[in-house]
Amino acid sequence: MIKKIGRRKGFTLRPFDFAQGRSRAFVEGRQAQGFTFIEMIVAVTIFSIIAVSIYSVFRAGVRLWAGTNPLIQANQSTRYFFNTISSDLKNSISYNAVSAGIKTFGSSEEKSPNFEGGEQRMSFMTLVDVSGAGALPHAELARVVYSFDRSKKAVKRAVATKAEGLSEPHANAAEILNDIDDKDFGFEYCYKVVSSPTEYGYEWKNRWSDEDRDKGKIPRGVRVKAGAYSKTILIPTGRLGGKDGD
């Protein structure tokens, strides 16, 4: 006798319930077992590729920074040099230490020139910004000397204030620009050239003449070359060089 099995009230058995149950059991089984060796190799490979890519980008950035950093520092040093020498020249003045009653070390009776200019050396009187312990920053008279050291390929700036007797041998010197070749550094001074009674021009020479120096003249303009850069600095208190200079 065959017994007929009827459906339970409120319960319907659907085909996908078996598949869903098997999938849940499979996932739970995989979670209990962990990753397979193949899956681990694939994950490590992907992670390695990402890590190598990140490292390559980082290394390229470091190399770029290492290559450009010296250039940036050189440009900053050159900019600082031009700003400093421009300020010193524009503040240069005509000054006689003897008539002012200031004693200079080693030459108390000699008249120091206002301006001396050579191809790679320049000495002049100017006003510099100084500050000391307990004193506010202020301008003070000083002799400033720019010179080129061939052995070190460096430009030096020496400053002698009244405390040093405005004397170059007692000046405080420091290197202001480095890694400059001999041929890439120099000074030129502006001279007046008369072509006719009504016309005149300008000429640049690499030396301020002894005659102009002895007259106490300061050049109207100085052209400074340092490395690949060059700058013309105009001096408000200056005069054109030469016998026809103003």
Domain boundaries, the chain: 82-234
To which H or E segment does residue 122 belong? strand 121-130
The answer to whether residues 240 and 220 touch, using CB atoms and an 8 Å cutoff, is yes
Measured between alpha carbons, how far is residue 52 from residues 27, 38, 41, 44, 59 in Å?
33, 21, 16, 12, 10
Going residue by residue through the chain, which has 246 residues, state the pLDDT in tens, using 9 for 90 and above.
555 555 555 545 455 454 555 556 555 555 556 678 888 888 889 999 999 889 888 888 888 777 776 667 778 889 999 999 999 999 998 876 434 444 544 444 345 788 999 999 999 999 998 776 666 778 889 999 999 999 999 999 999 988 888 888 889 999 999 989 999 999 999 998 887 777 888 899 999 999 988 888 899 999 999 988 999 999 998 888 887 666
Question: Which residues, other chains included, contact 245 with Cβ-Cβ below 8 Å and sequence gap of 6+?
Answer: 191, 192, 212, 217, 220, 239
CA–CA separation, 29 and 90 (whole Å): 86
